[in-house]
A and B are shown apart, each in its own frame.
Chain A
Amino acid sequence: EPEVTQTPSHQVTQMGQEVILRCVPISNHLYFYWYRQILGQKVEFLVSFYNNEISEKSEIFDDQFSVERPDGSNFTLKIRSTKLEDSAMYFCASMRGTYSNQPQHFGDGTRLSIL
């Protein structure tokens, strides 16, 4: 069964550095998402991406964050000038369409640790 793949599985970075988290969505999916989950907290929406542009973003997704689909397969989340509070699990998800019966499929996540 096709799946969403994320790399790396764990990223350790010094505060103030830039990180890029990578995702390969399921090939025939059109909608792409990033979520994050701080340890012990709920899964939070960051951003949705459709037709090569951001379709919706949360209050969390400020100028520190950016997303890109540089080619036909990868979907990346860049975090500039990382802060301690950016430490979390980051999940990529993809969905074929927005019909009610279309679920989002999640990748295994990247654990980001900011030191």
Chain B
Amino acid sequence: QKEVEQNSGPLSVPEGAIASLNCTYSDRGSQSFFWYRQYSGKSPELIMFIYSNGDKEDGRFTAQLNKASQYVSLLIRDSQPSDSATYLCAVRGGGTSYGKLTFGQGTILTVHP
């Protein structure tokens, strides 16, 4: 069974610090990797995605992908209290998966003032 694993947390960081969120996946054929933010009772909101090895930066967010280690991470710089949410790692397989996403259980992030 193809799985996506995240540390459920909670991860607590002070305002202004860097939050580091990690995710591992089991399917070596996975092609694309997505980070979604989910506030309680709300739908997943796309933050960013990555599909090539290395780093991808977008504002305060950096996604890192290492396919050899089957590892993807999200760094949030200058964390703000409004960043407090559950962060979902989602993986899209290759082949004939028709784009299905497999989600991790999410990491709860709390940014305290």
Contact = CB atoms under 8 A, between A and B. Distances in A.
Contact of A56 (B41, B46, B98, B104): B98
A44 B103 contact: yes
Interface in A24-51: 31, 33, 35, 41-45, 48, 50
Given A56-B97, A100-B31, A45 B102 contact: yes
Most buried by B among A41, A98, A102, A111: A98
A98 B44 CA distance: 19
B65 to A, nearest CB: 11
B51 A100 contact: yes
A1 to B, nearest CB: 11
A49 to B, nearest CB: 9
A26 to B, nearest CB: 13
User: Interface residue tally of chain A, by bracket?
Assistant: 20 to 34
B25 interface: no
A101 B49 contact: yes
B100 A45 contact: yes
Interface in A82-99: 89, 91, 93, 95, 98
Given A44-B103, A108-B42, A108-B43, A31 B98 contact: yes
Given A43-B88, A101-B49, A107 B101 contact: no
Contacts of A100: 31-32, 51, 92
A75 interface: no
B105 interface: yes
B51 A101 contact: yes
A101 B63 CA distance: 14
A11 to B, nearest CB: 15
A113 B79 CA distance: 35
Given A100-B51, A103-B49, A33 B99 contact: yes
A42 B104 contact: yes
Given A42-B106, A100-B51, A101-B51, A31 B99 contact: yes
A45 B57 CA distance: 28
A104 B43 contact: no
Interface of A: 31, 33, 35, 41-45, 48, 50, 55-56, 89, 91, 93, 95, 98, 100-109, 111
